[in-house]
């Protein structure tokens, strides 16, 4: 089964789950953390838009590590009431990036998880402080860090007795300049063999451009990522930082829908509890629903064409061919079962295609 390909049990260590609020990383679901690059004065409404788009958790960066000192450095303490209010209103957990040990002290126990950014990956006092806080830590890969260096950094947090670590691939420096960084999708299968920690991906800082984010996000999930961290803003062009890579809530929603279709197919084997297995079934049914909707649309178009050219609506030979076609791909089912299901599907699709509407344009 497809899902077994992502669980090479002979080589992989047992997977660990890390829970932030009620969001589980490393289980069957693939949560998406979203929000603007930096917390801005309108953050509470931004967070509402992320919630509505289906985000599971909020990016809530009040301190920003910027390449240039003249760039916006984040709202700092002033942003804290905003992120706490956003959490209260949406019920979503918040991920905040401390840049120093003082920030860890300020934020510990008040926010839901810490993000250690790429620039801080080897800031060992910060890693130790985040470890001591006992808070869940999302540890980003340094932009020029090897897998070994990244895992070594995670050991600073783990060594403090804090096992709640999630690794986040965010793109690395390569000779390529078209993208801001090069997303290293290989990190997912390779690290799967080396660590039990959940692995998530930030496609935003890898792409550097909004229109490339969906492809990278879905590639990451296809590779087995346990979650995504995405920069999104209600009006991307008005973002105070990283405007070029911010996606709209509409695009975020489309990515979340894509993840909802992909994830259950790829991650069914990760479900352990009855409730999770049911969640997988529900998700697969959602995917099945989407396929049925598309099939009904395709049938509607072919029906319109057939009626226009005076061909019969049903063609029994063709229906037998459709059944045989599917039966060859569904060895878990008897041919009779496939015939029963497909006959119902074909009847349903013809019924859903409705009466002939003469003025509708032919399918293009
Ligand atoms: C961020 O996620 O806000 C960020 C600065 O990313 P990175 O640390 O990966 O550069
Ligand atoms: Mn950013």
Q: DSSP label at 248? A: P
pLDDT digits (tens, 9 = 90+) for 250-271: 999 999 999 988 998 888 888 8
Same domain, 103 and 198: yes
Task: Kindly state whether residue 265 falls inside one of the protein's structural domains.
Answer: no
Same domain, 185 and 322: no
Same domain, 27 and 173: yes
247 confidence band (pLDDT: 50, 70, 90): very high
Choose between 178 and 14: higher pLDDT. Answer: 178
Domain containing residue 129: CATH number:
3.20.20.70
How many angstroms is it from 80 CA to the middle of ligand 1? 19
Which has the closest alpha carbon to 52: 302, 253, 316, 348?
Answer: 253
Same domain, 238 and 282: no
How far apart CA 67 and CA 126 sit, in angstroms, is: 19
Same domain, 217 and 81: yes
In which domain, by residue range, is 136 found? 2-248
Task: Kindly state whether residue 294 falls inside one of the protein's structural domains.
Answer: yes
Same domain, 284 and 244: no
Same domain, 43 and 137: yes
Q: How, if at all, do strands 137-140 and 165-169 pair?
A: parallel
pLDDT of amino acid 52? 95
H/E stretch holding 57 reads strand 57-59
How many angstroms is it from 35 CA to the middle of ligand 2? 10
Burial class (CB in 10 A: 0-12, 13-18, 19+), 336: exposed
- Residue 32, pLDDT > 70, answer yes
Task: Kindly state whether residue 194 falls inside one of the protein's structural domains.
Answer: yes
pLDDT digits (tens, 9 = 90+) for 344-358: 999 999 898 877 555
Same domain, 142 and 196: yes
* Number of domains present in the structure of the chain: 2
Q: Which ligand is nearest to the CA of 66?
A: 1
Same domain, 335 and 239: no
H/E stretch holding 34 reads strand 32-35
How many angstroms is it from 136 CA to the middle of ligand 2? 20
Residue 120 CA, closest ligand 1 atom number: 8
The CB of 170 under 6 Å from ligand 1? The reply is yes
Task: Out of 230, 248, 266, pick the residue that ends a domain.
Answer: 248
How far apart CA 259 and CA 32 sit, in angstroms, is: 9
Q: What angle, 0 to 180 degrees and rounded to 10, lies between the N-to-C axes of helices 43-53 and 80-90?
A: 30
pLDDT digits (tens, 9 = 90+) for 273-329: 899 899 889 888 888 887 888 889 899 999 889 889 999 888 999 999 999 999 999
Same domain, 237 and 282: no
Q: Of 119, 171, 181, 230, which is best to mutate to test ligand 1, by the most ligand atoms within 8 angstroms of its C-beta?
A: 119
- Residue 236, pLDDT > 90, answer yes
Q: Please give the average per-residue pLDDT across 148-152, as a whole number.
A: 98
Domain containing residue 315: CATH number:
1.20.59.10
Task: Kindly state whether residue 59 falls inside one of the protein's structural domains.
Answer: yes
Same domain, 299 and 235: no
CB within 8 Å of 334: residues ≥ 6 apart: none
Q: Which residue has the tokens 């061909």?
A: 311
Burial class (CB in 10 A: 0-12, 13-18, 19+), 267: buried
């Amino acid at each position: 089964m497809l899902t077994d390909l992502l669980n090479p049990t002979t080589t992989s260590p047992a997977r660990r789950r890390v829970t932030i609020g009620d969001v589980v990383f490393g289980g069957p679901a693939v949560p998406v953390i979203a929000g603007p690059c930096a917390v801005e004065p309108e953050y509470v409404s931004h967070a509402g838009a992320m919630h509505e788009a289906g985000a599971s958790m909020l990016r809530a960066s009040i301190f920003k590590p910027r390449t240039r000192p003249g760039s916006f450095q984040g709202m700092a303490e002033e942003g804290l009431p905003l992120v706490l209010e956003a959490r209260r209103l949406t019920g979503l957990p918040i991920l905040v990036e401390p840049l120093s040990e003082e920030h860890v002290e300020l934020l510990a126990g008040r926010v839901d998880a810490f993000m250690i950014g790429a620039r801080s990956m080897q800031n060992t006092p910060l890693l130790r402080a985040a470890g001591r806080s006992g808070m869940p830590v999302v540890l980003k890969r340094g932009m020029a860090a090897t897998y070994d260096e990244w895992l070594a950094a995670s050991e600073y947090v783990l060594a403090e007795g804090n096992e709640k670590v999630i690794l986040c691939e965010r793109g690395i420096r390569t000779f390529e300049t078209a993208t801001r960084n090069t997303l290293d999708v290989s990190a997912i299968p390779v690290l799967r063999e080396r660590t039990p920690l959940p692995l998530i991906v930030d496609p935003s800082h890898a792409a550097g451009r909004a229109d490339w984010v969906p492809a990278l996000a879905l590639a990451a999930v296809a590779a087995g990522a346990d979650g995504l961290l995405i920069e999104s803003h209600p009006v991307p062009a008005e973002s105070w930082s990283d405007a070029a890579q911010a996606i709209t809530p509409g695009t975020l929603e489309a990515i979340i829908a894509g993840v909802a279709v992909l994830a259950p197919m790829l991650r069914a084997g990760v479900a352990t509890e009855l409730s999770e297995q049911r969640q997988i079934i529900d998700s697969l049914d959602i995917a099945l629903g989407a396929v049925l909707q598309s099939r009904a649309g395709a049938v509607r178009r072919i029906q319109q064409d057939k009626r226009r050219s005076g061909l019969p609506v049903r063609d029994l030979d063709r229906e037998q061919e459709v059944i045989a076609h599917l039966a060859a791909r569904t060895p878990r089912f008897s041919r009779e079962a496939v015939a029963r299901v497909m006959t119902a599907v074909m009847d349903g699709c013809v019924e859903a295609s409705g009466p002939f509407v003469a003025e509708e344009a032919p399918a293009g």
